[in-house]
Copies of this chain bind each other. A is one copy, B any other.
Amino acid sequence: MNLIVQKYGGSSLADADGIKRVAQRIVATRKAGHGVVVVVSAMGDTTDELHDLALEVSPLPPGRELDMLLTAGERISMALVAMAIANLGFEARSFTGSQAGVITDSVHGKARIIDVTPGRISSALADGAIPIVAGFQGVSQDSKDITTLGRGGSDTTAVALAAALGAQTCEIYTDVDGVFTADPRIVPAARRIPVISYDEMLEMAASGAKVLHLRCVEYARHYQMAIHVRSSFSSREGTWVAEAPAAQPEENGMDQPIITGVAHDRSEATITVSGIPDKVGVAAKIFRVVARSGINIDMIVQSTSRSTGQADISFTLPRQDGQTAMTVLRGVQEEVGFDSLVFDDRIGKISLIGAGMRSHPGVSADFFGALADSGINIRMISTSEIRISAVVDAADLDSAVVATHRAFGLEDGQAEAVVYGGTGR
């Protein structure tokens, strides 16, 4: 009997009706002859509500206690799903992350899974029961304290459990039909991507696509676990995330689209440090104080004035870290000797992702051309082997996504995607 791990997100478990619908889908999978292990998130907005409750009690709740609190969310949803399955005549047993053997490090709020020892899950399966496992949570190896894996952690639980149990597939159920070539709310003609490679999915997730979280995809790639992202509201095929050759034209002939999708991100801001003296180590000092505050910097641009020798440095960072970064930088202004600091959160980032880009240098030119044709000014650029990102004005972001998506032939109804010859351009 092959084993499928199914993960259901909060939007699929928003109320009693949603829970009953999910139970029916689980039972249907079982009746189709598969072994099933289920991983659940908290119902609807439960996690946010619990977080708000914590802030009512304490402005800075200790991580250990916040994790203890938040894990109540999956405890509620997993018990309810198990009850709904029992109602359909099948035995289901719910398990906390700790009971399911999800062992983590001790970093509360964003713990990493160290090991999965799902002995009780295997026993339940052997007994013919359907195990329902709390996502997002584990127990720390050292202190035996309850931990959480951070936002989107339930996806990671599902993939890690699937790998530990030797499951065939990990199905991630959500409220959309899969991964799209762009956000359908911005580009109504965006198409579902049938298959996407781990590397591309990683870049999509890192660039703002919200359907799967980064760490979950990293896990899946590491364990070569195929993920099927699909909707719990329909029976349509979704998107397979796997070691797929589909987007690698050099191996599969010339007629594969080299661009997989367009992602966007509105959660960043820029800080520009102007008038930095032309001395060795000054830039390093600036980034060191920011890094010490635990802030992740994404893109960096430096420009130097030929006349003065002074430099300007701009970088992007999560918008929510803006105040902290500005405060620590202001604190070293005198020591470092720069002139001014400017914070700008009216920016957006657009990213073009495709494994085929590796062998096709012409993509950048076409991308920038598409933006230029729409009169959109590019403020910063960064690239990886399979991604090009540009920072633009926030007001231009939607039209940048639409223009780029169309320029690369990704729209539904466009005869076919733009393909590049083998020579590049």
Query: How many angstroms from the CA of A62 to the CA of B81 in the assembled complex?
Result: 11
Q: Contacts of A82 on B, CB cut-off 8 Å?
A: 62, 64-65, 68
The stretch from A52-60, A215-223, A353-361, A371-379 touching chain B is A52-60
What range describes how many residues of A lie at the interface?
35 or more
Q: Is A86 an interface residue (CB 8 A)?
A: yes
Secondary structure at the A interface, as helix, strand, loop or mixed, is: helix
Q: Does A66 contact B (CB under 8 A)?
A: yes
Q: Is A270 part of the binding interface, using a Cβ–Cβ cutoff of 8 Å?
A: no
B57 touches A16 (CB 8 A): yes
Contact assessment for A68 and B94 in the assembled complex, using a CB-CB cutoff below 8 Å: yes
Q: Cβ of A53: which chain B residues have Cβ within 8 Å of it?
A: 16, 76, 80
Q: A69 contacts the other chain (Cβ, under 8 Å)?
A: yes
A75–B78 contact, CB under 8 A? no
Contacts of A69 in B (CB 8 A): 75-76, 79-80, 83
Copies in the complex: 2
* Given A71-B75, A72-B76, A75-B72; A66-B54 close (CB under 8 Å): no
Tell me the bound Cα distance from A317 to B68 in angstroms.
41
Give Cα A80 to B72, complex, Å: 12
Cβ of A19 under 8 Å from chain B? yes
Q: Does A93 contact B (CB under 8 A)?
A: yes
Cα distance A57–B84 in the bound complex, in angstroms: 6
Q: Let me know if A50 is at the binding interface, CB within 8 A.
A: yes
Q: State whether A80 and B93 are in contact (beta carbons under 8 Å apart), knowing that A68-B75, A86-B65 are contacts in the complex.
A: no
Q: Within 8 Å CB of A68, what residues of B?
A: 75, 78-79, 82, 94
- A residues sitting closer than 8 Å to B (CB atoms) are 16, 19-20, 50, 53-54, 56-59, 61-62, 64-66, 68-69, 71-73, 75-76, 78-80, 82-84, 86-87, 92-94, 99, 120, 144
* A-B pairs with beta carbons under 8 Å apart, 21 shown: A16-B53, A16-B56, A16-B57, A19-B57, A20-B57, A54-B79, A54-B80, A54-B83, A61-B86, A62-B82, A62-B83, A65-B79, A65-B82, A65-B83, A65-B93, A66-B83, A68-B78, A69-B79, A71-B75, A72-B76, A120-B144
